[in-house]
Amino acid sequence: MLVVGVDENGLGPRLGPLVVTAVAVEADGESAAKVALGRPGRAFAARINDSKKLVSYKERALGEAWARVLGGAVSLPTSSPARLVQGLSLEPEAFLRAPCPTDGDHAKQCFSAEGEAFEAPDELLGQVRSDLVRLEKRGLRLVSVRVSMVCTRRLNDAAAKGTTRFQVDLHAMERLVLEARTKATGDVVAVCGKVGGYDRYSNAFGPLAGRLHAVVCEGRAKSEYALPGLGRMAFVRDADARHLVVCLASLVGKYVRDLMTARVVRHHKRTLPHLPMVSGYHDPVTARFIGDTDDVRRASGFPSDCFERRKVPSPFDAEDDERQLEVDDLAPTSLVEPASRV
């Protein structure tokens, strides 16, 4: 059985790309599948968990370690951060560069690797490799790790056409699951983080639009679908804290997202070196960074649509994410229900 964990990083920031990541593992039997789909237990919790709890844009060594170890395990290049990201990317670099302005050095904002270096110490890399070996002993074999990156320009272009960032996120998840299916001899079980406030996904599908499918359940906690020829695909609330394989995807995606955002920040710091490194999210430091670079960006003709995301209202922006789960959201039971800690 191929189990795929999918999660997004950077859905709502002001700067930097949206990164969607999929980690696919072959599970040797149902007990191994429960490990992949269960919560990380005490043996793993310090290094496999919700990426928001373990890493940040200032401290990304753990995410880097998982990206390097998982990438190396499937023979991706790991000699530098740039080569690692290129190997992880579902889309070729030519595709990623396609929206870049051809005049000036604007493309360096996203593609200059100047100043980049690996940060994870050898001890941490060794611990993460040991974790992967332990997972293999529990019946899980890593098959692939892939990321799909959507730059600010493409997000703004989609918004101009009426496509929300939630739809962009969902469609990237679909592409990653379809790509993982090509590596399996049978159907897959895919668990994805919930996209925005969606409860019903059928009408929002992109790459999966028009495919025959059956609704297993739809609700605030989980929405799951059976798709002949693909398998089962579930969208689970807080999946990056409840399913080990989604935790791994979240950790890798957080590293890639922070690395790519740091490129954006460093590009503009080369002109204004006194400015701080920022997260790119909705915080006062990022807001000041955007304001302080405004005059220089205008003077150089830097395209605003390549720098900051447009403010596009969404029906899900004001939803209360802490709303009490409803009873019918917890049923019916299926293979992708969270198992006990493993």
Local structure of residue 89 (DSSP, 8 states): B
Average pLDDT over residues 130-150: 96
pLDDT over 90 at 24, yes or no: yes
Residue 342 pLDDT grade (very low, low, confident, very high; cuts 50, 70, 90): very low
Please determine, for residue 102, whether its predicted confidence score (pLDDT) is greater than 70: yes
Reported as a single tens digit per residue, the pLDDT across 198-250 is: 899 999 999 999 899 999 999 999 999 999 999 999 999 999 888 999 999 99
Query: How many residues belong to the chain?
Result: 342
Domain membership flag for residue 10: yes
Query: Mean per-residue pLDDT for 266-288?
Result: 95
Residue 307 lies in a domain: no
- What domain range is 245 assigned to? 2-260+323-330
What is the arithmetic mean of pLDDT over 279-308? 95
Residue 285: inside a domain, yes or no? Answer: no
Residue 55 is predicted with a pLDDT of: 63
pLDDT surpassing 90 at residue 282? yes
In a domain, 267, yes or no: no
Domain count, the chain: 1
The angle at the Cα of 141, spanning 138 to 145, to the nearest 5 degrees, equals 130
Q: Which DSSP letter does residue 293 get? A: T
pLDDT tier at 10, thresholds 50, 70, 90: very high
Find the mean pLDDT for residues 178-182. 96
Mean pLDDT of 166-173: 96
Residue 312 has what pLDDT? 66
DSSP 339: B
**Amino acid 322: pLDDT:** 36
- Please tell me the least confidently modeled range out of 16-25, 43-52, 63-72, 121-130: 43-52
Of the candidates 104, 107, 106, 105, the one whose C-alpha atom is nearest the C-alpha of residue 96 is 107
Query: Is residue 161 situated within a structural domain?
Result: yes
Is residue 94 pLDDT above 50, yes or no?
Answer: yes
First to last CA, the chain: 18
- Which CATH number covers residue 11? 3.30.420
Question: In the predicted model, is pLDDT for residue 320 greater than 50?
Answer: no
Q: Are 267 and 28 in contact (CB under 8 A)?
A: no
Residue 232 lies in a domain: yes
Q: What is the DSSP code (8-state) at residue 150?
A: E
- Position 125 in a domain: yes
Q: Show contacts of 107-111: CB within 8 Å, 24+ apart.
A: 108/267, 109/263, 109/264, 109/267, 109/268, 109/302, 109/306, 109/307, 110/17, 110/151, 110/260, 110/263, 110/264, 111/263
pLDDT at 335 exceeding the cut of 70? no
Q: What is the pLDDT of residue 54?
A: 63
Average pLDDT score over residue span 264-289: 95
User: Bridge-partner residues for 190, per DSSP?
Assistant: 4, 233
CA distance 125 to 63: 10
Asked whether the predicted pLDDT for residue 325 surpasses 90, the reply is no
Any domain includes 237: yes
Q: What is the pLDDT of residue 46?
A: 74
DSSP symbol at 327: G
Select from 42, 39, 30 the least CA-distant residue to 3. Answer: 30
Question: Between 342 and 153, where is the model more confident?
Answer: 153
Q: What is the pLDDT of residues 27-86, one digit of tens each?
A: 999 999 999 999 987 777 778 766 666 665 556 899 999 999 999 999 999 999 999 999
Local confidence band at 313 (pLDDT 50, 70, 90 cut-offs): low
